[in-house]
Structure 1
């Protein structure tokens, strides 16, 4: 990820004061990290206003801000910003709600909450209550949040939504594109309620070069307008956007030279080449032995692509992704040594045939064996999905059958939500995987998701049971939605009479051309693979047009001729 290092820069200031109240129940906080965290998580700024009717208002706001700024940065760096932030916010809400329910003094741990996360070239807003987020751009001050309040009468409003009020919290979320010079303001109602909007805008315009002066003057202005509440404000200006430039990224990616093609007996960095495991135009995989006599697999890039930044980035990202996927069903990536002399990465060596070799040797598999292997595939893929990562290239060559079960050994086509969100300084090559196994939405431009990996898994199971492809040879030639919609699923029972009807239906559903018609979760599909779905115990009666289309068309042709003949006779 070094080549994606964010260059996001801001000028920031914040201030919080009790004002005319005896206690400050507001809390403000921010975290401006460096290095990888700045790239994968960004800058987080948050404000909370404890609900004053609650005796635990101050503790609630402090818990929300401290917990969010700590836990958000502890979430996996492969997750999207929304995924990370919402998991943390919902967890904090549950904690506050539980404390309210269990308080022997009847205290309510309630607080409003607004957070702004800046990542790459985007801003993400998460909001509950009546704290606010504003943006000044091109001399226009825009309120980006809405107050969750209900007016009871002319002078009284009621907070309709707050953290800690309910076991499940509804959070407003927004995503915005950043521009250099954007100014964001986060404020509690003690600031924005008494200050007229025109005066607030004039203040921001006047002090847009000095964030410290802006926040101090805002507090003074609120007091001047007789604010009776706590006073909290945060101000930040975007000085530089976050995506690194292409030249910098290429320089980082090119720090290590490409290795030569190795032969058995050669050594590099304390590793001895034992044999070639796999080689293609894109990469080579060697069995190597380290100085402790451990057998490892070493993957090296192909010299053909040493002037291709997109290829180099994807190769570098393979190791980064693999190091973050923890599962017995996924090969373990060995942390890279700082003393590497060239570009490669190491994984555990998994002895055993690939699924492709197994199918070549044995042909179709017994149903119980095929389903058991599929269960192992699902365990491995779930590890990717838990990290918001799609594999995108599940095929027999990328799965090794070890003595302990199947192991996924390739990360070359993975899509990572958090990395995609961070942006890229170079144009990426979107490898779609192998046509026979990739989901149709990759080719017709549909929305890809976990259901796309489900489709590939189902193709693998279909092949293990039949030795064929579920849509025949026409599938790999289809490139647009219209072509895919013309395809018809070929029942696995046609090629393997031992496949039960209910299993065939489970396959057909997972192989739906429309991803919305597949299973909502892999666990649901696995359940239907291991035990009959009650709805599919009795085979459905298929239309004659599907089972014997030639008979239908022949009958229609005869009927047409008979009708024509009858009309001619009737005229006579």
Structure 2
């Protein structure tokens, strides 16, 4: 079931010489609405500024356009904050370029509806109300000075300050809810009681919007009056679950042999056959090679594994980059079974090169590290944590391009995380905090990248090899120069910083580690030496107690011999 709602909007000039309010409602296609939701907003240009109308219109237009251009892997709040901050800087730049526009600013109240939830963003003194079961509640707080003579003066608005703080909130939708976004020209003239009565007066949201704005002017309102009214008729499912529900009904394909055909693809060889999944090299009717990924036929009744495969396809489709294989856009009508297809690239993984006895040089590892960190930084900007960086998941193509493979356990807030994926990864590449039960984040990816570079150089692990289900203890890492003394100090320090036991001692971002690799010995990373007292894991008072004990023993000895 999808989210169903009706919306109405109206804005009147009132007694003002021009309308400085701007109303926007965006209801995109069903597929885009399932990802980004429907957006409604009211912006009220600050009347004291010459560019109030321009500020409200351009803020509303840029936000509504830019929001739908943000990556689909971003959360709604993260995407809204990015576009609002950009709009704020744009308004400020216009005011600084043109003295006639000095002081231009606008309030902003937005509502995004998706699936079962709403997300609101608010700055200024426009308001968002909710009528639920005949009870009216204001969901926003006015950003005005708390003095009787200054309650019309804004403390926060788009264009007032370089540092804009926006209020965000979210909650569950219910069938029958009515949401109202109104400018101060409506709520100040009518009051909550009159707004409450107006929202219950008509079933049509358009009639309610027109009634409230007209009544505000009739009651003597001295400002522009604008309103957006939304009636929730039925609540949808979780946006991703709703999209993938039909795909889950597809059966898993039987085990395929070389020469087998499936939906126009012919199997040319089996690439990988594991306990959970199978990867086939296939070709289409034009002879182009691809990789087809599916699950073992025995997993047909394993709903969690099927959901994980669909999640992987959904997420991989949204990573449009040369750093990862690209997904072939197949619709459900083009598939008779549960699988997905991605681009094929000649080459080998780093693990395959290690198994073949390849010797990695210092420059080679440094270059691999730079390409790997570029790929990781791209994923992290999309709010994706890979969670299984290791040589087996890093591919070097015959075109010399590095690609990160396998987003099967990648973590993204947009996706539901199956219970079986709470702590995935290969133990020897997993950061220490993951063994303590923490959820993997970008720091864990940076750690795994550091261990990968360490392993390429030494074929060993900094804290020793960790077996599955083992509870390791992490001491001081063995320096890679013990196994490869020719490793330059700057490269060793970059690796040691990436694999530090504590997250605060690692690189803060993938970009920071990338810069360290690019600068090399020109700007070497300095690793602070660990004091003996810290390496012994004894706090200062314990050392003082030990020293005091030895001093007392010496004194006792001297007393006995004198």
TM-score bin, normalised by smaller chain: 0.7 to 0.9
- The match for 2:403 is 407
- The match for 1:435 is 427
Q: CA distance change for structure 1 residues 495 and 322 in 2, over 3 Å: closer, same or farther?
A: same
* CA–CA separation in structure 1 for the residues paired with 2:428 and 2:405: 19
SS in 1 for 2:429: coil
Give the C-alpha shift of residue 559 in structure 1.
11
What CA deviation, in whole Å up to 9, does each residue of 1:149-183 have, x standing for no partner?
23676377322332234455332222334344443
- Provide the TM-score with structure 2 as the length reference: 0.86
Stretches of structure 2 that go unaligned for 5 or more consecutive residues are: 539-544
Matched, 1:277 2:265: no
- The match for 2:259 is 265
* CA–CA separation in structure 2 for the residues paired with 1:501 and 1:262: 51
Matched, 1:313 2:307: yes
* CA–CA separation in structure 1 for the residues paired with 2:255 and 2:430: 30
* CA–CA separation in structure 2 for the residues paired with 1:247 and 1:69: 25
Give the C-alpha shift of residue 377 in structure 1.
1.2
- The match for 2:482 is 494
Which of 77, 82, 85 pairs up with 1:82? Answer: 77
Matched, 1:521 2:515: no
Give the C-alpha shift of residue 454 in structure 1.
1.2
What CA deviation, in whole Å up to 9, does each residue of 1:122-160 have, x standing for no partner?
322212221112233455433332222236763773223
Q: CA distance change for structure 1 residues 490 and 386 in 2, over 3 Å: closer, same or farther?
A: same
Q: 1:246-265 to 2 correspondence within 5 Å?
A: 252-265=246-259
- The match for 1:461 is 453
SS in 2 for 1:356: helix
Q: CA distance change for structure 1 residues 475 and 83 in 2, over 3 Å: closer, same or farther?
A: farther
- The match for 1:377 is 372
Matched, 1:33 2:33: no
What CA deviation, in whole Å up to 9, does each residue of 1:17-72 have, x standing for no partner?
11222322211121233422121111211001112223332233222223322221
* CA–CA separation in structure 1 for the residues paired with 2:163 and 2:445: 30
For the 8 Å contact 2:50–2:100, the answer to whether it is kept is no
Matched, 1:329 2:329: no
- Provide the TM-score with structure 1 as the length reference: 0.85
- The match for 2:493 is 505
For the 8 Å contact 1:454–1:510, the answer to whether it is kept is yes
* CA–CA separation in structure 2 for the residues paired with 1:499 and 1:88: 45
RMSD: 3.6
For the 8 Å contact 1:15–1:234, the answer to whether it is kept is yes
- The match for 1:387 is 382
- The match for 1:232 is 226
For the 8 Å contact 2:311–2:415, the answer to whether it is kept is no
Q: CA distance change for structure 1 residues 89 and 428 in 2, over 3 Å: closer, same or farther?
A: farther
Stretches of structure 1 that go unaligned for 5 or more consecutive residues are: 1-5, 550-555
Q: CA distance change for structure 1 residues 311 and 225 in 2, over 3 Å: closer, same or farther?
A: same
More moved, 387-396 vs 152-161: 152-161
Give the C-alpha shift of residue 538 in structure 1.
8.7
Matched, 1:97 2:92: yes
Q: CA distance change for structure 1 residues 559 and 429 in 2, over 3 Å: closer, same or farther?
A: closer
Which of 415, 420, 423 pairs up with 1:419? Answer: 415
SS in 2 for 1:334: coil
Which of 10, 13, 16 pairs up with 1:15? Answer: 10
* CA–CA separation in structure 1 for the residues paired with 2:534 and 2:319: 47
SS in 1 for 2:515: helix
